[in-house]
Structure 1
């Protein structure tokens, strides 16, 4: 576990600068009004913060969600924690998170934009924007994605096409150990690319591969301890290796993406739009013709919207699939039951989405993987859009809020065995699939993941096709017990690096 004091003790320029900064700001601690309670209002309880540092010395900076879950046991389902001088309200447990995000959707519906995300989003795009920009870009993206088949037959056909490209890659390893994460990432990235651009990429395309590598590296680095510290004290960014690497990756991606988007604009046919990007260009041109100087259909919003959809549409889905295959290798008796169900219902034909209702155990395995994998444990940070009294506590407008999704997915009042892999969580006594209200991997409310329907289709079709054709095992010499389920450190929780064998069932 990495704590701030360990960073400060390291003989680095960053550690010394942090130490000096801490001592200087201790002098002006009581000038910080955010540390003091609102007079006459009851605020959520929490651990006593230190001057300037707040509670970060108490946090596991590699896995802060674990510390926050432990704190909730002491301070309750609504509590306060300070990341440096910044106040954060943490919501824990299914009932509290659902009440806030669904029943108080407007009040908790804004996005808190941390320094690392503002550095390259600047309030544009979908994921890290608010107000009119967020409303218009989300509405446009959701409507356009649906027009191009997201969650419908059109996207099902795109996914099915991609399953065959992916299967070929797996077969080429001829049962030898390989890292499944890379081809899975390429496959899911191609599905969202087909919807956004109207075309897919070859897995061997060097620019495509480099774009994904840099994007994945940035997602991982934003969850690193040094970037957690940067979000508290953003003035230290230029001295942090991880911050410099994130910004360098971002600049290269922007340059590469701009070249690609320029080519799409040059070949645009307004009578035959190929995907979301073409639709954006049509809106942009119409706004220019109308002389709309306040139009939000400009280059910055296009670039950020594409990056948001590309990253969100590929990383979380491919990560979940990676967990699926790892868990199949870890628990061969579960894998065997999935094989038998697929064989009896589908046989050798192509799986389609309609099969899901007839494959309750397979569906339960996918859902249980999403629950246990806990891909985005703290969700993306929210912010209150107005002053609100919630569960008897006063929370100021603009306060950062962490809906602790891991506390929902592992809520002991909602799950029989929350810390174990148990597909029975989603099955009734007759073996039929049952939905669970506490299943919230896509969050809830106004900020619900707009790609949820596409992700669900991808997870079912990719997983079912792969399990139809392959049996997944640990590498030779490695037992099922030795397969590590400890997640890697990152903004999203990937499995630790590992290899599996995909043995053909033909």
Structure 2
């Protein structure tokens, strides 16, 4: 063998051995970890788990190992919390300990450790507090944003009328409308639906959603944690995610430049203005968590989160109502009785519309948009039940296991608004309703999403009757499931003016 070839083989063996020993050390000697399937060094349980159907595998593993168990995605140790009791005990009872963001290597690279979603520690606390304060200041939960949602929904109604009884895919209509609501908060204004930059941004959001739900992304994420330098040169969905992140960043920095030119520090008009004022206040603080990168990333996360999740939920909700026209008809009756046709729905109506409120909650429960929750990590060693979870362990709080708990929701696989109604037909709250997660990492946009969902759905059903393009019994409402999220299958519908 040539000397150079022998040296190469020797180096490969050494590197492989080091990786093996590192992974084995991480997976062994872990004390009283929750039980789980036998894992192999380096690859963990990857051969036993299909990433696309990971939520289903989690159900099966829970049946064998109970409400808390351990799996390994590569060498990454993951403790899964399954069921209402253990999720509540961890995320709420031990909120500080379970407040870390879990490892998501590809998305962490895109975020560069900045922003609200992927940061940890003091940075996360300060940015989250700032975001919540200013989302409320600029209208979240207030009359001002309610009027903004109503205004944007008028544009949506006009677009729906212009379909003139023709079948169409509702995806873009819903995405544009809901995106403009969050745009008014973070950028200070809405976009025309034909604006080229807006169209580009929406296409990036939709592409990222598809990429995040791809099983290949999960595989690439695992490989990236081992070989970050090498993966930067290997084709795959991770490289497209990185490119899209740069596109978002460029757009936001353009808007930041425009805001700097028009900023009145005494009267900030939107989230970017407020952040710029904060930057000025923190200028002399060398340890400040507020800088241009955290501004860019926080703005991107608010925009993407406010654009994607609610529009997907509404799109799924319309599909479910196409499947069950009798449920849609009951919502029509309640809208006609409480609101009528002479005015727009408002948030004050919700307390008088228990059936509609129940339908909205059941849609969110049924679709379990993020079945495993966004990964967490424990910030220090935690004793949970009879087990010890080491600091830094990734946590999957399986939200679907709470939303589908048969003790709270009989026959959870069936769509039934009665899950949120008492024997008198009044709306019934449930501690098991956790589509936005729970504890200290609960979604910052929960209040806005709840308002949007109620106002947009009721206004659509106030003005239109939904009609499927196929027989209702042939409509498939099972999700396109992935490691990250659920989404409805593509479909078209008619909307008929009432």
What aligned pairs does 1:359-378 form with structure 2 within 5 A after superposition?
359-378=353-372
Runs of 4+ in structure 1 displaced over 6 angstroms?
A: 21-24
Alignment-derived partner of residue 20 in structure 2: 29
Alignment-derived partner of residue 415 in structure 2: 421
Stretch of structure 1 that moved more, 239-248 or 439-448: 239-248
- For residue 141 of structure 2, the aligned residue among 147, 151, 163 is 151
The alignment partner of 2:459 has SS state of: helix
Name the CA distance, whole Å, in 2 between partners of 1:494 and 1:187: 19
Work out whether 1:282 is the aligned partner of 2:272.
no
**Cα distance, 1:191 vs. partner?**
0.9
**Cα distance, 1:73 vs. partner?**
0.8
Work out whether 1:109 is the aligned partner of 2:102.
no
Name the CA distance, whole Å, in 1 between partners of 2:317 and 2:17: 48
Alignment-derived partner of residue 254 in structure 1: 249
Name the CA distance, whole Å, in 2 between partners of 1:367 and 1:237: 42
Query: What root-mean-square deviation, in Å, do the aligned CA atoms of Structure 1 and Structure 2 show?
Result: 1.7
Alignment-derived partner of residue 373 in structure 2: 379
Name the CA distance, whole Å, in 1 between partners of 2:222 and 2:329: 48
Name the CA distance, whole Å, in 1 between partners of 2:75 and 2:155: 50
- For residue 351 of structure 1, the aligned residue among 313, 320, 345 is 345
The alignment partner of 1:501 has SS state of: strand
Alpha-carbon displacement from aligned partner over 1:237-266 (angstroms, at most 9, x marks no partner): 532321122122222222222212211221
Alpha-carbon displacement from aligned partner over 1:84-112 (angstroms, at most 9, x marks no partner): 11110000011111111000101111111
**Ranges in structure 2 where 5+ consecutive residues have no aligned partner:** 1-11
* Contact kept in structure 2, 1:113 and 1:129, CA below 8 Å: no
What aligned pairs does 1:158-307 form with structure 2 within 5 A after superposition?
158-234=148-224, 235=227, 236-288=231-283, 291-307=284-300
Count of matched residue positions in the alignment of Structure 1 and Structure 2: 479
Alignment-derived partner of residue 5 in structure 2: none
Alignment-derived partner of residue 331 in structure 2: 338
Name the CA distance, whole Å, in 1 between partners of 2:286 and 2:17: 47
Name the CA distance, whole Å, in 2 between partners of 1:355 and 1:389: 45
Work out whether 1:447 is the aligned partner of 2:441.
yes
**Cα distance, 1:24 vs. partner?**
8.1
The alignment partner of 1:245 has SS state of: helix
Name the CA distance, whole Å, in 1 between partners of 2:419 and 2:29: 42
Name the CA distance, whole Å, in 2 between partners of 1:298 and 1:472: 47
Name the CA distance, whole Å, in 2 between partners of 1:46 and 1:438: 25
TM-score scaled to structure 1, two decimals? 0.92
The alignment partner of 1:53 has SS state of: coil
* Contact kept in structure 1, 2:220 and 2:237, CA below 8 Å: no
Work out whether 1:80 is the aligned partner of 2:75.
no
Name the CA distance, whole Å, in 2 between partners of 1:483 and 1:36: 48
Alignment-derived partner of residue 467 in structure 1: 461
User: 1:54 and 1:237, CA in 2 relative to 1: closer, same or farther beyond 3 A?
Assistant: farther
